[in-house]
Structure 1
Amino acid sequence: MIPQKLNPEDEIRIIAPSSSLTRVRPDIYESAFTFLKDKGFNVTFSKNCRETNMFLSSSIRSRVDDIHEAFADKNVKAVMACIGGFNANEILPYLDYELIRANPKILCGYSDITALLNAVYAKTGLVTYHAPHLAALGFLNEREYTEKYFSECIMSDASFAVTPSVASQSYTVIQKGKCEGEIIGGNLCTLNLLQGTPYMPEIENRVLFLEDDNIMGDYFLCEFDRNLQSLLQISGADTIRGIVFGRFDESCKMTEDIVKAIVKDKVSPDIPIVFGVDFGHVFPMFSFPIGGRVRLSVNNSIDLKIIEH
């Protein structure tokens, strides 16, 4: 189920399913708000998005109420997280998935919002969007690139090819091959929180889009390695059709050789794998659909196209 695309003058409701809006720096907030207003959108804010507690978040009830209100409001066409955080998975058992299914609309964010995006897709079949949250739109790093793919993914029905940003320069071939399939993924360590719950989407025959942030310091590579191994031990993971790794912050020290070492013996050597694609905790970023479809061809060059979104 693909929601109606976003148009200028549509209402975007900003919510805080993880950390509070108060975590967004004032200058970043102003930059992002101005950006969306200049694009013609009507930007509104959920009543509890500025509530904050000792975890820099708000109560489960406040966050759930804001999501329900946004989906029930017929004037709201897109629901956008204000920022990521650490506890979006807390709210998953309390959401009214029938309400969400009956009122399909764009839901977007990334990082900790990975939990919400994949859970909503798993429980309702609604395609969600791994795309900028409000705070991400406030950063100026190649914002034209971020804007281009936000528009192509969320404001247009047409398929679109993904090409490297200036920051990325080029994508890296890890394994050659071709595939087509539905996308699941996002932030790896957050996606793994859904394992063994009703909120984990099916992994069989999917194409994985995976990234992670360096919160482990010198142990990041070890942590990423075992998190990927955990995901690939899920029943049905042996049928995945391809893997697209995002672009990692320099502090992660992720390289082509390290990625090849990490995936060795974990997946079939016959599936396509690419590394350094513009999504993750980096700017700029491209938007992609959780539950949408991708076509990936990896040989001496890389052809990555989002074909249903």
Structure 2
Amino acid sequence: MDAPRYPTKPKPGDRVAVVSPSAGLPGLFPHVHELGLRRLREEFGLEPVEYPTTRVMGADPRDRARDLTAAFADPTITAVLATVGGEDLITVTPHLDDDVLRANPKPYFGYSDNTNVLNHLHRLGIVAYHGGSVLVHLGRPGAPHPLTFDSLRAALFSSDWYDLTPATEWGDEPRDWRDPATLAEEPVMLPGEGWHWQGPARVVRGRTWGGNLEVLNWLLAADRVAPAASLAGSVLLIETSQELPSGTEVYRILRNLGERGLLASFPAVLVGRAKAWDFDRPHTVDERRAYVAAQRGAVTRACAEYAPDAVLVFDVDFGHTDPQLIIPYGGEALVDAEARRIAVRY
């Protein structure tokens, strides 16, 4: 595999694109979006530039692709941030102009359904960044989470190695965006219990690949995942969404990766802390623990069958829970099971 191609980073005062290649939720929740934009200006010193479909729900995939391509083509734009996820970005990426993207690589930040774009850029040889949603993380109710903002600041402005830190508190119970008054209230948080390590005590260093597990399943079905040989030695990132897939479904998706020959390619697997609460499934704390245990068991079972020598690390804060650490996608990661340390190079 070629060396990772890290795009040039922005500087305070630069213009950055704010796009909605997936869902145009800023149009439904402008108060959350405006809070995120204000923090982007005040906390990071960056000037957000919106594109025509940023606040449009149900925009044509070709129009969304046109906006994303235009953001990469604009020489005055130095980074691209997705506002939020969704569920149909897989219909957008075929309309991107890959020649433009290759000729104008820029740091792209997104997660969840944005796994489609992250994977697309990875196949073009461009390092992107898993995390940093404008609505969810920049627009967090109450106050910015220190871990999220420290990680995002480092990912935006530096190219150094960065040690990830286990969260001392975490949450998966967001405030209701439909009520603007809730933006003043801190989210419900629970005590953190650190990372959970499994597998051999060894050190793995490699490029990252993966993302939201449900989206990876779609990408497999659409035949948009690189061959196993090209991903060999990578650190696999997996996290699950607010749709709360069952442990059985998690196992089956990973089994599909195994049958394709992919799972055996990864010497280390980082598993994002599982979100276990949503508005239509308001689980108790005990129910959340049971859900997380079932998901952990599913990952453990699949890896035991297809990647028995892999280092596994659970409850890393890079998924659909709060806080969120930024992970370079296609960039370098160090997973040190001897020192119980995870570092990434931004």
TM (normalized to structure 2)? 0.81
Matches within 5 A, 1:196-275: 197=222, 199-201=224-226, 202-216=230-244, 220-251=246-277, 253-255=291-293, 258-259=297-298, 261-263=300-302, 265-275=304-314
Task: Tell which deviates more after alignment, 108-117 or 247-256.
Answer: 247-256
Whether 1:2 aligns to 2:6 is yes
**Residue 157 of structure 2: aligned partner:** 155
Superimposed CA distance per residue, residues 8-58 of structure 1 (whole angstroms, 9 cap, x where no aligned partner): 111111111110144653332232111101021111100122222xxxx31
Write the distance in 2 (CA, Å) between the matches of 1:88 and 1:196. Answer: 14
Contact 2:198–2:311 under 8 Å retained in 1: yes
- The alignment partner of 1:250 has SS state of coil
**Residue 59 of structure 1: aligned partner:** 60
Contact 1:78–1:107 under 8 Å retained in 2: yes
Matches within 5 A, 1:1-309: 1-22=5-26, 25-38=29-42, 39-52=44-57, 57-122=58-123, 124-136=124-136, 137-140=138-141, 143-167=145-169, 168-176=192-200, 177-195=202-220, 197=222, 199-201=224-226, 202-216=230-244, 220-251=246-277, 253-255=291-293, 258-259=297-298, 261-263=300-302, 265-299=304-338, 302-307=340-345, 309=346
Write the distance in 2 (CA, Å) between the matches of 1:10 and 1:93. Answer: 29
Residue type of the partner of 1:174? Q
Evaluate the alpha carbon distance shift between residue 33 and residue 292 of structure 1 in structure 2; reply closer, same or farther with a 3 A threshold.
same
Task: Tell which deviates more after alignment, 167-176 or 78-87.
Answer: 167-176
Write the distance in 2 (CA, Å) between the matches of 1:193 and 1:155. Answer: 32
Task: Tell which deviates more after alignment, 256-265 or 11-20.
Answer: 256-265
- The alignment partner of 2:238 has SS state of strand
Unpaired runs of at least 5, structure 1: none
Write the distance in 2 (CA, Å) between the matches of 1:21 and 1:98. Answer: 29
How much has 1:298 moved relative to structure 2?
A: 1.3
Write the distance in 1 (CA, Å) between the matches of 2:265 and 2:210. Answer: 15
- The alignment partner of 1:228 has SS state of helix
Aligned residues: 300
Contact 1:174–1:260 under 8 Å retained in 2: no
TM (normalized to structure 1)? 0.90
Write the distance in 1 (CA, Å) between the matches of 2:22 and 2:6. Answer: 24
Write the distance in 2 (CA, Å) between the matches of 1:233 and 1:70. Answer: 38
Evaluate the alpha carbon distance shift between residue 142 and residue 47 of structure 1 in structure 2; reply closer, same or farther with a 3 A threshold.
closer
Contact 1:142–1:284 under 8 Å retained in 2: no
How much has 1:234 moved relative to structure 2?
A: 2.0
RMSD across aligned positions (CA)? 2.0
How much has 1:142 moved relative to structure 2?
A: 5.8
Evaluate the alpha carbon distance shift between residue 204 and residue 264 of structure 1 in structure 2; reply closer, same or farther with a 3 A threshold.
closer
- Percent sequence identity over matched residues? 26
Write the distance in 1 (CA, Å) between the matches of 2:274 and 2:298. Answer: 11
- The alignment partner of 2:246 has SS state of helix
Contact 2:111–2:130 under 8 Å retained in 1: yes
Evaluate the alpha carbon distance shift between residue 287 and residue 24 of structure 1 in structure 2; reply closer, same or farther with a 3 A threshold.
farther
Evaluate the alpha carbon distance shift between residue 24 and residue 210 of structure 1 in structure 2; reply closer, same or farther with a 3 A threshold.
farther
Residue type of the partner of 1:228? L
